[in-house]
Amino acid sequence: MALLLNIHPENPQERLIKQVVEHLKSGGIIIYPTDTIYGMGCSIFEHKAIEKIAKFKKVDTKKAQLSFICNDLSDLSQYARQIDTPTYRLLKQNLPGPFTFILNASKEVPKILQSKKNTIGLRIPDNKIAMAIVAALGHPILSSSLPGEMIEEYTDPELMVETFGHIADIVIDGGIGGMLPSTIVDCTNGEFEIIREGKGVLEY
Per-domain residue ranges of the chain: 3-196
Residues 6+ apart with CB under 8 A from 164: 2, 31, 40, 146, 171
Of 3.90.1170.50, 3.40.50.1000, 3.40.50.9100, 3.90.870.10, which CATH number belongs to 3-196? 3.90.870.10
Kindly list the averaged pLDDT for each block of 10 residues, start to end, along the chain of length 204.
93 97 97 95 94 85 78 86 88 96 89 79 95 96 83 84 93 93 91 90 88
CB atoms within 10 A of CB 194: 12
What's the confidence (pLDDT) of residue 139?
94
DSSP element (H, E) containing 96: none
What's the confidence (pLDDT) of residue 109?
85
CA distance 121 to 187: 10
Per-residue b or e along 68-93, where b marks 16 or more CB atoms closer than 10 Å to that residue's CB: bbbbebebbbebbeebeeebeebbee
The angle at the Cα of 55, spanning 39 to 156, to the nearest 5 degrees, equals: 30
CA distance 3 to 58: 24
Nearest to 134 by CA among 40, 4, 42: 42
